[in-house]
């Protein structure tokens, strides 16, 4: 196990020659051993799939940790959830990625790609216009405000507050449903006019807060 | 009586003595004096008087010997009397530590209180203070404290303190620097994230870490940096002033 949960806010990752780790810039708390950090830029060569991540761009600068040692990752006291991927994929807002194995493939779903729906989803969750798809075999750690809890879905549908949505794995369909009534238009609505309706087979991760970051 | 509340309702006698009330608050059983960080006290029982450190020092001459940091004197108070004092900080985890003939250096903004048997001095590292002697002190951290052993390199924002090991030196990651220089747009490469600069710990001891926090304004830090500018000659000080004015205009 290369990802050790130190506490609810910090994760310790074993870095080796065979297993470099990509992480959000500024998220390294400390390390021991011979580890070198390198900022990764859009034109960077090497580590597969990274280019896609970098296209997410300005708001999501990453760096790669290479060498041999263990690194502590955490970010501004936000809670950390560790998710193992075995061939399936995780869809997450790019801002929330704390660290993941560099050999995972990352792709960005942007405006106009994958239909307008994913763009709207990104916009509505307040995390920018990008959602990132991470896939392959490896481990991902994801940031949240107040911790996450998983909701298992086996064909049913669950409604999630867009601000509380963190990520999902599996074959899930995510739709943004608006129920804007007259009261919302005049600003006296319940504040829950938009909901994400998640259906299918998989797991959706929800944070215990509506706070954005 | 209010229904539906399952946590116990505390009173002066049932509050813990020198123990945590919950992870985020600590109850000091006061019988004498404690040094307490200004603003850390959230409630108290009993006959307790809070006086500024310099004010109290005019009455009790031992204070000056224990609190040898005029810089932070305005950030601290002396709690004197009998009773229970509850301290907390921004909902952070609060822990008590016992120091036994030891020395420990900790970030000033995370130190909440200490017994008067300990002696406080300013560390050479700006924003940190050192406690020397035997006694109990309280410190807050963003999430539980993580203890690691040197050799270890720590991000300055995530470093809470260190005990029994030599003061850190600064380590610059040459990979990071090389990338930045080659790109020639150093500023863009997250210099502000500080990833290329770490505190390097060697020797025997313990390093205390927390999840990185957003910096709380340390009022004394400005005075500290300002006093360091005495090292500069008039011309360099002027040049520094120019740069600082530029920076404040950019933001």
pLDDT in tens, B184-211: 444 444 444 456 678 899 888 899 999 8
Q: Same domain for B121 and B180?
A: no
Identify any residues that bridge with A141 across adjacent strands, giving them in sequence order: A82, A99
CB nearest A76 (choices: B152, B176, B214): B214
A86 touches chain B (CB under 8 A): no
Number of domains in chain B: 2
For residue B42, the domain's CATH number is 3.60.160.10
Q: Are residues B39 and B98 in the same domain?
A: yes
Asked whether residue B124 falls in the same domain as residue B59, the answer is: yes
Q: Look at residues B106, B141, B176 and tell me which one is the last residue of a structural domain.
A: B141
- Rounded Cα–Cα distance for residues B230 and A22 (Å): 42
What are the tens digits of pLDDT across the range A54-80? 444 434 678 888 899 999 999 888 899
In a domain, A212, yes or no: no
- Tell whether B129 and B161 lie within a shared domain: no
Residue A11: in which H helix or E strand, if any? strand A10-15
Same domain, B168 and B193: yes
- For residue B10, tell me if it sits in a domain: no
**Residue A6: which H helix or E strand, with range?**
strand A3-7
Query: Among B108, B141, B174, where does a domain finish?
Result: B141
User: To which residue do tokens 């940190």 refer?
Assistant: B128
Residue B137 predicted with pLDDT over 90? yes
- Cα–Cα distance measured from residue A192 to residue A139, given in angstroms and rounded to the nearest whole number: 33
Residue A116 pLDDT greater than 60, yes or no: no
* Residues A69-92, mean pLDDT to the nearest whole number: 90
Residue B210 to chain A, least CA–CA distance (Å): 8
Residue A51 lies in a domain: yes
For residues B202 and B134, membership in a common domain is answered with no
Whether the Cβ atoms of residue B126 and residue B225 lie closer than 8 Å to each other: yes
Q: Bigger pLDDT: A182 or B50?
A: B50
CATH at A193? 3.60.160.10
B38 lies in some domain = yes
The pLDDT value recorded for residue B182 is 52
Q: Is residue A213 part of a domain?
A: no
Number of Cβ within 10 Å of residue B133's Cβ equals 17
Residue A21 lies in a domain: yes
CB contact under 8 A, A32 and B151: yes
**Residue A18 is assigned to a structural domain of this protein:** yes
pLDDT tens string B66-113? 888 877 888 889 999 999 999 999 888 999 999 998 889 999 889 999
Q: Is residue B4 part of a domain?
A: no
List, for residues B204-251, the tens digit of each pLDDT value: 889 999 987 666 666 777 777 788 888 888 888 888 888 888 888 876
Contact list, B216 vs chain A (CB under 8 Å): none
Is B190 found in the same domain as B134?
no
Do the Cβ atoms of B143 and A39 come within 8 Å? no
Indicate if B29 and B137 belong to the same structural domain. yes
Distance from CA of B11 to the nearest CA of A (A): 30
Question: In 3D, which of A152, A186, A144 has the Cα closest to residue A171?
Answer: A152
**Alpha-carbon torsion angle B159, B161, B165, B170, nearest 10:** 40
Q: Chain A window 22-41: which residues touch B at a Cβ cutoff of 8 Å?
A: 25-32, 36-39, 41
Residue A46, SS3 per DSSP? coil
pLDDT computed for residue A120 by the predictor: 53
Q: B76 in a domain, yes or no?
A: yes
Any domain includes B12: no
Q: What is the pLDDT of residue A192?
A: 60
Indicate whether B6 belongs to any domain: no
Per-residue CA distances from B67 to A168, B85, B191, B196, B225 (Å): 53, 20, 36, 35, 20
Secondary structure class of A55 (helix, strand, coil) = helix
Decide if B146 and A7 are in contact by the 8 Å CB cutoff. Answer: yes
Q: Which residues of A touch B148 (CB under 8 A)?
A: 30, 32, 72
Identify the domain containing residue A103 by its residue range. Answer: 3-207
Cα separation, B22 vs A155, in Å, equals: 41
How far does the CA of residue A195 sit from the closest CA of chain B (Å)? Answer: 30
**Mean pLDDT throughout B138-166?**
89
Whether A123 is in a domain gets the answer yes
Cβ of A37 within 8 Å of Cβ of B176? The answer is yes
CB pairs < 8 Å spanning A and B: 93
CB distance A30–B158 less than 8 Å? yes
Interchain proximity B211–A31, CB inside 8 Å? no
> Residue B199 corresponds to which tokens in the numbers above?
């505190």
- Answer yes or no: is pLDDT of A19 > 60: yes
Residues in A closer than 8 angstroms to B206, CB to CB, are none
Q: Quick one: pLDDT at residue A178? A: 66
Q: How far is A16 from chain B (nearest CA, A)?
A: 17
Report the residue from B151, B155, B173 with minimal CB separation from A29.
B155
- The residue range of the domain holding B121 is 19-141
Alpha-carbon distance A170 to B192, whole Å? Answer: 37
Residues B55 and B159 in one domain: no
Predicted confidence at residue A190, as pLDDT, reads: 56
* B60 and B114 together in one domain: yes
Q: B205 and B121, same structural domain?
A: no
Instruction: Determine the residue among B109, B145, B158 to mutate to test chain A binding: the one whose Cβ has the most chain A Cβ atoms within 10 Å.
Output: B158
Percentage of chain B modeled with pLDDT above 70: 85
Task: Indicate if B125 and B44 belong to the same structural domain.
Answer: yes
Q: Cα distance from A182 to chain B (closest Cα, Å)?
A: 37
How many structural domains is chain A composed of? 1
The residue from B141, B160, B175 where one domain ends is: B141
Q: What pLDDT is recorded for position B14?
A: 87
Interface pTM, i.e. ipTM: 0.71
Determine, yes or no, domain membership for B5. Answer: no
Mean pLDDT of chain A: 76
Answer whether A31 sits within 8 Å of B152, measured CB to CB: yes
Computed from CA positions of residues B173, B205, B128, B38, in that sequence, does the dihedral angle turn out positive or negative?
Answer: positive
Residues B162, B104 contacting (CB under 8 angstroms): yes
Closest-approach residue (CA) in chain B for A67: B175
């Amino acid at each position: 196990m290369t990802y050790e949960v130190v506490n609810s806010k910090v994760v310790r990752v074993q870095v080796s020659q065979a297993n470099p780790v990509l992480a959000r810039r500024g998220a390294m708390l400390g390390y021991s051993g011979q580890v070198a950090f390198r900022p990764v830029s859009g034109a960077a060569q090497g580590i597969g799939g990274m280019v896609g991540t970098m296209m997410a761009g300005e708001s999501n600068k990453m760096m790669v940790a290479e060498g041999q040692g263990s690194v502590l990752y955490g970010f501004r006291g936000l809670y950390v959830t560790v998710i193992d991927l075995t061939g399936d994929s995780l869809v997450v807002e790019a801002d929330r990625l704390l660290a993941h194995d560099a050999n995972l493939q990352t792709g960005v779903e942007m405006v106009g790609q994958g239909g307008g729906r994913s763009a709207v989803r990104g916009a509505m969750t307040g995390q920018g216009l990008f959602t990132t798809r991470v896939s392959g075999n490896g481990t991902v750690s994801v940031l949240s405000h107040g911790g996450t809890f998983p909701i298992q879905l086996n064909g049913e549908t669950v409604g999630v507050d867009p601000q509380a949505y963190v990520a999902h794995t599996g074959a899930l369909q995510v739709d943004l449903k608006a129920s804007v009534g007259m009261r919302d238009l005049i600003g006296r609505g319940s504040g829950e006019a938009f909901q994400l309706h998640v259906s299918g087979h998989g797991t959706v991760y929800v944070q215990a807060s509506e706070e954005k970051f | 009586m209010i229904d539906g509340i399952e946590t116990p309702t505390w009173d002066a006698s049932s509050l813990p003595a020198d123990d945590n009330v919950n992870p985020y608050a600590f109850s000091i059983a006061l019988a004498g004096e404690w040094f307490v960080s200004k603003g850390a006290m959230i409630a108290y029982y009993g006959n307790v008087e809070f006086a500024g450190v310099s004010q109290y020092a005019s009455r009790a001459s031992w204070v000056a010997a224990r609190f040898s940091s005029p810089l932070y004197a305005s950030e601290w108070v002396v709690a004197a009397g009998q009773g229970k004092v509850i301290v907390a900080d921004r909902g952070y985890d609060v822990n008590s530590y016992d120091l036994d003939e030891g020395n420990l250096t900790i970030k000033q903004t995370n130190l909440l209180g200490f017994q008067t048997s300990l002696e406080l001095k300013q560390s050479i590292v700006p924003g940190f203070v050192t406690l020397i002697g035997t006694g109990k002190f309280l410190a807050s951290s963003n999430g539980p404290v993580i203890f690691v052993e040197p050799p270890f390199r720590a991000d300055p924002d995530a470093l809470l303190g260190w005990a029994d090991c030599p003061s850190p030196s600064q380590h610059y990651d040459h990979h990071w620097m090389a990338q930045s220089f080659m790109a020639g747009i150093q500023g863009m490469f997250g210099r502000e994230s500080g990833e290329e600069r770490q505190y390097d710990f060697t020797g025997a001891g313990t390093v205390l870490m927390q999840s990185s926090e957003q910096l709380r304004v340390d009022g004394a830090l400005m005075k500290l940096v300002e006093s360091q500018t005495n090292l500069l000659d008039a011309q360099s000080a002027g040049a520094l002033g120019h740069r600082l004015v530029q920076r404040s205009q950019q933001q």
